[in-house]
Structure 1
Amino acid sequence: MSRSDAESDSDYSLPDDLPAVRDALVSWYEEDHRPFPWRETDDAYEILVSEVMSQQTQLGRVVEAWEAFLDNWPTPSDLADADRADVVGFWTDHSLGYNNRAKYLHEAAEQVVSEYDGEFPRTPDELQNLMGVGPYTANAVASFAFNDGDAVVDTNVKRVLHRAFDVPDDDAAFEAAASEAMPEGESRVWNNAIMELGGVACEQSPKCDSAGCPWREWCHAYETGDFTAPDVPTQPSFEGSRRQFRGKVISVLKEYDELPLSKLGPRVRVDYAPEGEYGREWLGGLLSDLADDGLVEVEESDSESESETVARLRR
């Protein structure tokens, strides 16, 4: 390996025969890769849905949810016209992570219809104008829908670059190395390929030979036997989390539409006790979070006998 002038002050260097490195990876990917359905489309809406769903859910589980979502709302216009409570309910029913992502996806569809005449913006910068679409998601959609993105840098890509080319565990270094490695104008196939490499060959427990890694002849880790990887933040457990119970609140309110807290609490968790650890204060915190996300409404309702707090889905 040798350093280019542009990288002379960096702590890594890509191989001299970079064209061969690129060709090897793309050929490996095109010969055989996991057939996720969103890889077979260049529809920006379908790709956005897959990207948002994949943020907290294993890809194997996303397939069924993605197909069902598009059966319900096949176009941005269909999603924009949908009842937001139905979209959030779908998210909860399929255990797709934070419900506000469903809300943002619904709002993004409304923007595409009202602000862009139903046509998705095409560049990463423009895509970030859509609600809930950050730099990573915008770049992924630009890459996979329009072949007009930058190099994707996710956990898998960082692990690959760290092991293969000894890129230090530093975000700026990863960005620079990923950009240098990607062939110009080929973001669609390249980003798919390098993420596939990290997903099936260069996993936490590498499968260099069994997966036929195309970079073995250049790989620093394969040469040295040192397969350490960058630190990855641990994903908090979903079971028993506030995230899980926020989802249960949405599910219950979807079924009953409106409930006083005295009836909502026991339906959210069986050990609900108004004055207990998981009581009115705890439930009120969940509802406050959901209200801040624009998903529920909470108000005092006066009856003949007493005043009680009532929660309902925001439509």
Structure 2
Amino acid sequence: MTDPDGGAALADGDAPDLPRDLDAARDALIDWYEADHRDFPWRRTDDPYEILISEVMSQQTQLDRVVPAWEDFLEEWSTTADLAAADRGDVVAFWSNHSLGYNNRAKYLHEAAGQIEEAYGGAFPESPDELQELMGVGPYTANAVASFAFDNGDAVVDTNVKRVLHRAFATPDDDAAFERVASHVMPPGESRVWNNAIMELGGVACGKTPRCDEAGCPWREWCHAYQTGDFTAPDVPTQPSFEGSRRQFRGRVVRTLGEYDELTLDELGPRIRVDYAPNGEHGREWLRGLVSDLADDGLVAVDETGDDAPSVRLRA
């Protein structure tokens, strides 16, 4: 079932804060990802074998530790034919020596390589359903390989993506809802860049402790959590005490003023909060309160000469 945007249709209550201009949100995320992202070597290839190795290795190992193991593995067995011909004991020993988690994964990879050589003539199947026929390849890994190797996958839904969708669009903590919303927001036919981008967002900007402004999250202007200050998520049962707090914004005011001699409230506001609007909920009166607190603490000086838009500077 699809909708006019090309994704899966949503059920009532799936994404109450989904932006009306979904294309703008899509473009913002892709632009953010393409401008700057973590440069893992498997992101520079569309070889399905190399991508499968990275996906299996990443299941229980931090990505910065996966990089050297992935490079060593491919130096040892650079193709499925090489891996299929290898002694299984050598493959398992490699896995164990590199602390890559359950050794069964090494056995499954070895067997999958044999399947590809014998049943598929050395050519990888390309769809998620076909990829699941390989030994040890479940729905998530199959979809990841289909997406990143063939641009032929569905929306990836892992813990990071669930956290993003819950915070950004108020998606309820329900697996079926996450699947529908993830499919709905992914641009049709762009699974490679989209799944990389939304996973990057969850890993870099929208972690358990969010780094919205520090990482330049491209969804701040649409994000339910950013607007409300409620950063709870399925894997974050309690709201971080600092993120979204007055204390955080006070710190941003001080840091921002450290870069400028003096700013009016309306010049300062957008620099500390992307949704600042002079007459909005987080507008001039809200900012006056922050500045007043800082002035009482002796940290800033306020010039009230301009009644509508007083100026603020750090106190010497």
SS of the aligned residue for 1:136 comes to helix
- Matched AA of 2:22: L
- Matched AA of 1:12: A
The 2-side partners of 1:38 and 1:145 are apart by 10
Q: Partner residue of 2:174?
A: 170
Pairs within 5 Å for 1:290-305: none
Q: Is the 8 A contact 1:153 1:174 kept in 2?
A: yes
Match of residue 15, structure 2, among 6, 12, 17: 12
Q: Partner residue of 2:71?
A: 67
Q: Partner residue of 2:141?
A: 137
Identity %: 76
Pairs within 5 Å for 1:92-171: 92-171=96-175
Q: Is the 8 A contact 1:143 1:187 kept in 2?
A: yes
Pairs within 5 Å for 1:193-208: 193-208=197-212
Are 1:231 and 2:235 an aligned pair?
yes
Are 1:76 and 2:84 an aligned pair?
no
Q: Is the 8 A contact 1:87 1:106 kept in 2?
A: yes
Are 1:186 and 2:190 an aligned pair?
yes
Q: Is the 8 A contact 1:80 1:106 kept in 2?
A: yes
The 1-side partners of 2:174 and 2:152 are apart by 25
SS of the aligned residue for 2:92 comes to helix
The 1-side partners of 2:61 and 2:211 are apart by 23
How far is 1:12 from its partner? 2.1
Are 1:218 and 2:218 an aligned pair?
no
How far is 1:10 from its partner? 2.5
* TM-score normalised by length of structure 2: 0.71
Segments of 5+ residues of structure 1 without an aligned counterpart are 234-315
Q: Partner residue of 2:38?
A: 34
The 1-side partners of 2:11 and 2:41 are apart by 41
Q: Is the 8 A contact 2:88 2:110 kept in 1?
A: yes
RMSD over equivalenced CA pairs, Å: 1.5
The 1-side partners of 2:19 and 2:129 are apart by 31
The 2-side partners of 1:50 and 1:155 are apart by 18
The 1-side partners of 2:236 and 2:217 are apart by 22
The 2-side partners of 1:148 and 1:130 are apart by 17
Residue 115 and residue 6 in structure 1: after superposition, are their counterparts in 2 closer, same or farther (change >3 A)? closer
Q: Is the 8 A contact 1:46 1:70 kept in 2?
A: yes
Q: Is the 8 A contact 2:26 2:186 kept in 1?
A: yes
* TM-score normalised by length of structure 1: 0.71
The 2-side partners of 1:167 and 1:110 are apart by 41
Q: Is the 8 A contact 2:171 2:181 kept in 1?
A: yes
How far is 1:82 from its partner? 0.3
Runs of 4+ aligned residues of structure 1 deviating over 6 Å after TM superposition are none
Q: Is the 8 A contact 1:155 1:232 kept in 2?
A: no
